[in-house]
Amino acid sequence: MVDTLSSSIEYMNFDQDRTAEKGYRLPADPYWLAPPQGSLVPLWHEGGAPNYQPKPMICRHVQDPIKVWHRETPAHQRSSKKGLIKTLAEANESVPRIRIFSCSAGVNAGKMAHRLHEKLQRLVHEVDDPYEIEHEKALNQLDLDEAGPEDVILIIASTTGRGDIPGNAQRFVRKYESAAPLKSPPRFSCFANGDSTYGDSYNAAGSTIQQLMTKLGCRPLLGHCFAGDTAQHNPDWESFGHWLENIDHLILGNHHKIDLPTSLTDMGEKTTTLSEMPTATLTRVQRLHPEGVLQITLDIGDKPYAEMDHIKILAPNPDHEVEIALKALQLSPDQAFDWHHQPAKIFLSRYADLDHSFKRLDWYPDFTSLSQYQQDKLKTSKALTVLSTSMPSVPFTAPLIEAICKDMASI
């Protein structure tokens, strides 16, 4: 479930990234795609190109919009540094740039990148050193050959699928994964916006991009990818704020001195369990018409709803699949584990993805002695299929069961 503004931005991001790659826009009429809000939705303004004459579908302003803007917009946001930058450029002095990029299958990373741009503009305005703050772009549009050694590249990366790189960053990764180190590498920092309930694939895209930039010789402002966790707060504005404070200190440290935390947020083995996540209570399910939309009412209690919050629905494995897994592992439904707080049936129902392949299979008896074909087949088979049809006759000891369960992907 997504709001119309987010859906509009998501389509525009895809269209703009495809245009940058192919050279032409999607053959679709934005006027038909835009929802009823009309000109309030960014997608509406993509229509009518190239002879576009905007006719806002909103009522006339009661007050003069220019006067309202002057009254409500702080002076530092109305002023411009273009004159200063132009003067320096004419004097052949180099103006370092802070360049902002994001990648995501949705819109959260892009929205965070937009907020980062706004905050950095305010911070840079307060210092004497000139910095050119470029508007946020998709990571596919980053050309490192254009970056100078004094430039700063800031990347906000979300992970999609099972630790996959989002589409608006895949072209960037393919371009540079086999490239030689840069001659004049810029400075950079990466903020990974991920969900720790995914366990093994938590912030995989951010980690991959961090490693790629480091391999190219780019100089990290921080020692590693700064990790945000959307499992409990989406977006994780608190971690985002800590990251921004560190960026502010390291780039403009003489002017905005803050105490760095003793240890920065590290991705490491961090995993949020379902029991630690805030939950909602299902109070009503209603369908007003036999073929109509199913209306679901959820009670979130006293939890506040913040900007860009969402509800995550994690569907458990079907009971019959859980029964097959229990039988294959020779477990009783209520058997307790020393390494997990839930009994066997609940763990296999709510925490393990039986429809996904195993992660490593390093526990599988004599795996390395199998043929390459057999190994590849086991690696691509569903966990439930491996357990029910491909397991050799071996005693299921407690250590083996633990290794098998921990090798399953998270739900």
User: For 122-136, 151-165, 252-266, which range has the lowest pLDDT when averaged over its residues?
Assistant: 252-266
pLDDT of amino acid 262: 35
The answer to whether 226 and 246 are in contact (CB under 8 A) is: yes
**Residue whose tokens read 């199998």:** 370
- pLDDT greater than 70 at residue 277: no
Each residue's pLDDT tens digit, 47-86: 654 444 445 444 455 556 566 666 766 665 554 444 443 4
CA distance 320 to 335: 18
Instruction: Work out the average pLDDT over 226-233.
Output: 81
The whole-chain average pLDDT of the chain stands at 79
Higher pLDDT, 76 or 91: 76
Instruction: Work out the average pLDDT over 105-124.
Output: 87
Phi-psi region of 23 (alpha: psi -120 to 50; beta: other; left: phi over 0): left
Residue 96, class by beta-carbon neighbours within 10 Å (0-12 exposed, 13-18 middle, 19+ buried)? middle
User: For 30-39, 85-94, 363-372, which range has the lowest pLDDT when averaged over its residues?
Assistant: 85-94
Instruction: Work out the average pLDDT over 241-248.
Output: 88
Residues 6+ apart with CB under 8 A from 259: none
Instruction: Quote the tokens at residue 24.
Output: 């032409």
Q: Which amino acid is at 350?
A: R
Q: Measured over all CA atoms, what is the biggest interatomic distance in the chain, rounded to whole angstroms?
A: 80
Instruction: Quote the tokens at residue 87.
Output: 């003067």
What is the model's pTM? Answer: 0.64
Instruction: Work out the average pLDDT over 16-31.
Output: 76
- The H-assigned helical ranges of 73-166 are 75-78, 82-90, 108-125
The answer to whether 189 and 221 are in contact (CB under 8 A) is: yes
CA distance 55 to 28: 20
- pLDDT greater than 60 at residue 341: yes
CA distance 11 to 48: 17
The answer to whether 344 and 330 are in contact (CB under 8 A) is: no
Neighbours of 220 (CB within 10 A): 15
pLDDT of amino acid 31: 61
User: For 222-226, 249-253, 262-266, 333-337, which range has the lowest pLDDT when averaged over its residues?
Assistant: 262-266
pLDDT of amino acid 364: 93
Angle 138-269-258 from CA coordinates, rounded to 5°: 65
CA 185 to each of CA 63, 100, 132, 182: distance values in angstroms, whole numbers, following the listed order: 50, 16, 18, 5
Strands (E), 23-113: 97-103
Determine what percent of the chain is predicted with pLDDT higher than 90: 33
**Which of 96, 191, 86 minimizes the C-alpha distance to 149?**
96
